Amino acid sequence: MTTFADLGLSPKVLDAVEAAGYTIPTPIQAGAIPHALQRKDVLGIAQTGTGKTASFVLPMLTLLEQGRARARMPRTLILEPTRELAAQVEENFVKYGKNHRLNVALLIGGVSFDDQLRKLERGADVLIATPGRLLDHFERGKLLLSAVDILVIDEADRMLDMGFIPDIERICKLIPFTRQTLFFSATMPPEITKLTEQFLHSPVRIEVAKAATTAKTVEQKLVKSGKKDWEKRAILRDLIRAEADGLKNAIIFCNRKKDVSELFRSLVKHEFDAGALHGDMDQRARTTMLANFKDNKLKILVASDVAARGLDIPDVSHVFNFDVPIHSEDYVHRIGRTGRAGRSGKAFTLVTQADVKYLASIEKLIGEDIVWYDGDLSTLPVSNEPDEAPRRGRGGRDKPAPKRRRNEGRERERPQSEIDIIAAAEKAKDIEVEPLDDQPVIRTADKPNKVAIKTENEQRRARPAAARLEQRPEPRRDHRRDRDDMGTAPIGFGDEIPAFMLIDTKI
């Protein structure tokens, strides 16, 4: 059986690994570490929770024992899609690098630029950053990337698939061509694999599990739900109460930040011990909330997909998908928060009729059918209510009716037929008018001498179009040539020829 000592790691790293309580590497670690130590490019694919972070942290620590960083010129660079993942990687360097005197700098949003700049001035052996904040420092002239020897792109599919492609391409152009590049991810679709070809040079592909597979230690269930949010919240609360005996802690995932806040307030209102985590929160609040959940001070964490990628919370017993993820790969990452390191876990997903296509995509990706918890969608009662109008804006209000034009209502109320004229005559019973030969005479039963006539505007509209055109005054065209004071219109410049045009020139 392979041990960490067989992988070629340095004695200092091996001592830190043993102190952390690890003796046998995971398959991704056993496959990737030897190639990383040989300075080869690596493309690592493994399901979440299998120790991908240590697969690049441990060999980097061994390689960094030689050499020293200079001010503003980091030796290695690790790119992460979220602040939480970046902070987690920093924790791994602190844990496994306790025998090393390495400077680790963390560049993420929501933290003071001055504090980060002081770390860069001391010289960073390891620079862990999100792409946006990294480029901010570079554009300010506070960072040089010409000394980077090792580039790590963690959660590669998310980095490339969710809008980071331009930033990644720009950063790669700033780093020496001779660098070593390591890619690690749980999923790697073919179209994303093509994009990695421009970042990796003859990479060693380490795939220890089928791409986008879920851990066998996670029990997955589907729960039918109505389309209304309040129905889903009620079903979720009943589900949490039903699992109370085995529920140690749980993460509830929502697709939208707005739903995270609403669900969090609802759970607190119903006396659940809950917290919230999403991208719009202040960095200090996000860090505190995540730390409280890790320390078991919170039992339930309602989160967006910012918590779905790579967060190492070892003992999460349950995962609830309040919304079916739109991207099928996100399902793998979400339920990967439970059942880690060989532990068992449960994952429940609330499904509405509108989620059928997303569910089919998930089952196709993972290659298996997920079991229903209490009957499928066909057992839901038929609802006669119309579908909700699409929500817009923050409050989800319906789109307001368009403003009416000034005379729009009046014109609609004008009589257009004989029946309408009769109705109008009945409303005007107290108006005495003289009968006219050319107007329709309407006699009512109670007042046979009353007459309803068309208004002047209605009479004008009733005339033939040709007659209306004949009576319409011809619009006045106020051309300058028609004015009396202008006289005959000049030809060309007239007598006012510019002087420069009168100069003799040779042709």
- Could you give the residue ranges of the DSSP H alpha helices within 227-307? 229-242, 257-269, 283-294
* Mean predicted confidence (pLDDT) in 203-228: 83
Reported as a single tens digit per residue, the pLDDT across 378-395 is 776 655 544 444 443 444
pTM exceeds 0.75, yes or no: no
Q: Which of 257, 280, 209 is nearest to 51 (CA)?
A: 209
Q: How far apart are CA 371 and CA 310, in angstroms?
A: 26
For position 391, what pLDDT does the model report?
Answer: 44
Give the per-residue pLDDT at 390. 41
CA proximity to 25, closest of 14, 36, 41: 14
In DSSP notation, 84-130 reads: HHHHHHHHHHHHHTTTS---EEEE-TTS-HHHHHHHHHH--SEEEE-
pLDDT of res. 280: 81
Look at residue 220 and tell me whether its pLDDT is greater than 80.
yes
Contact 250, 240 (CB under 8 A): yes
pLDDT in tens, 151-173: 999 887 777 666 787 898 899 99
The rounded mean pLDDT for the chain is 79
CA distances from residue 270 to 188, 234, 264, 480 in whole angstroms, order as listed:
41, 10, 10, 79
Predicted pLDDT of residue 465: 54
Q: Choose the weakest-confidence range: 9-23, 154-168, 256-270, 492-506.
A: 492-506
Q: Would you state the structure tokens that stand for residue 299, as one six-digit string?
A: 């039992």
Delineate the domains of the chain, giving CATH numbers in brackets.
4-207 (3.40.50.300), 218-378 (3.40.50.300)
On the question of pLDDT at 438 being above 50, the answer is no
Q: Give mean pLDDT, residues 208-230.
A: 82
Give CA separation, 129 vs 78, 81, 281, 310, 391, in Å: 6, 9, 19, 15, 36
Token pair belonging to 265? 């307030």
Nearest to 90 by CA among 78, 72, 75: 78
Check residue 1 and give its pLDDT.
73
Instruction: Label residue 240 by pLDDT band (50, 70, 90).
Output: very high
